[in-house]
Amino acid sequence: MISVIASIRLNEGARESFLQIFNANVPAVRREDGCLEYYPAVDVDSGIPVQRLDADIVTILEKWQSLEALRAHLAAPHMLAYKEKVAPLVKETVLKVLTSAEG
């Protein structure tokens, strides 16, 4: 299994517009072969001192059956259309692609 954490830094004030576009695409992604989990998340103030809150970052949490499924996802037509739609709203995307390190 592959886990993905995508941290998307948005232009100031663009979060609601971004989430509207993103959430419209979620059903198509969840129907993809190999998609186990896929959703956006935003900061919630926990009061924990080490937490860094940022209203201009949306974190996408994903789980895929394999790297091949993830690669197919990134090339899917609905993902290419999504990327075009959100491009004016996004400053930077940082991607972590992970696998379990459990022994």
State how many domains the chain has. Answer: 1
Q: Is residue 7 part of a domain?
A: yes
Q: Is residue 103 part of a domain?
A: no
**pLDDT confidence of residue 57:** 98
CA distance 7 to 17: 16
Q: Is residue 27 part of a domain?
A: yes
Q: Is residue 33 part of a domain?
A: yes
pTM here?
Answer: 0.93
CB 9 within 8 A of CB 95: no
Confidence of residue 20 (pLDDT cuts 50, 70, 90): very high
Q: Which domain holds residue 66?
A: 2-43+55-98
**pLDDT confidence of residue 94:** 98
For 42-94, the pLDDT digits (tens) are 999 999 999 999 999 999 999 999 999 999 999 999 999 999 999 999 999 99
The enclosing domain of 33 has a CATH number of 3.30.70.100
Q: Is residue 16 part of a domain?
A: yes
Q: How many alpha carbons fall within 13 Å on the CB side of residue 11?
A: 8
**pLDDT confidence of residue 103:** 79
Residue 49, judged by CB atoms within 10 A of its CB (0-12, 13-18, 19+), counts as exposed
pLDDT value at 32 more than 90: yes
